[in-house]
Amino acid sequence: MFIDLLRSRRSVRQFEPRPVEPEKVDLLVEAALRSPSSRGFNPWEFVVVNDPETIKRLSQAKPHGASFLANAPLAVVVCADPDKSDVWVEDVSIATLILHLAATDLGLGSCWIQLRKRNFDDSTPAGDFAAKVVGLRQGLVASAIMAIGYPLRQPAPHPESSLQRDKVSVNRQGKRE
């Protein structure tokens, strides 16, 4: 059941040093391409990266929060063409989440690396750095990178007690019943 997938899903930042099989990569790509988008505009594009040197370069896209990518056997750079849709941010976010859940369903671990609104250095946005590494055409924006691989260890699911049920209202904000 889908709820079981959500319960088991965790961000994974340490991976076994083995590649992801081509069949699983194909399924990840299919899942990403089946992601819903507003009005079916599909402003997203994906760059699948399995070259270790390119992955190492991508791990430098932002000084905090991307270094673990260097040891991932697979990365997917989630890109968008902002000219195709005014809600491209939402569409690429959905696609990135679909990749994350598909990876979990396939027995893989993954972690979302946010690039949009993050910096490589004082003068270069992280997305621009990643775009250059993977050779994006003019007009495409690198929004996120998904690190994917076999988890070195499987983190325990978040317990039911960690759910912030106080953030749920009924019929009117602040009303609990």
Residue 31 belongs to domain with CATH number: 3.40.109.10
pTM of the model: 0.94
Q: Tokens for 147?
A: 């690190």
Give residue 2's pLDDT. 94
Q: Report if residue 174 sits inside a domain.
A: no
Give residue 176's pLDDT. 83
Identify whether the C-beta of residue 101 lies closer than 8 Å to the C-beta of residue 9.
yes
The count of domains in the chain is 1
User: Could you say which residues of the chain have pLDDT below 50?
Assistant: none
Domain coverage including residue 113: 2-167
Q: Report if residue 28 sits inside a domain.
A: yes
Give residue 148's pLDDT. 98
Give residue 54's pLDDT. 98
Q: Report if residue 50 sits inside a domain.
A: yes
Contact partners, residue 66, CB within 8 Å, separation at least 6:
58, 59, 60, 113, 126, 145
Q: Report if residue 35 sits inside a domain.
A: yes
Q: Report if residue 173 sits inside a domain.
A: no
Q: Report if residue 123 sits inside a domain.
A: yes
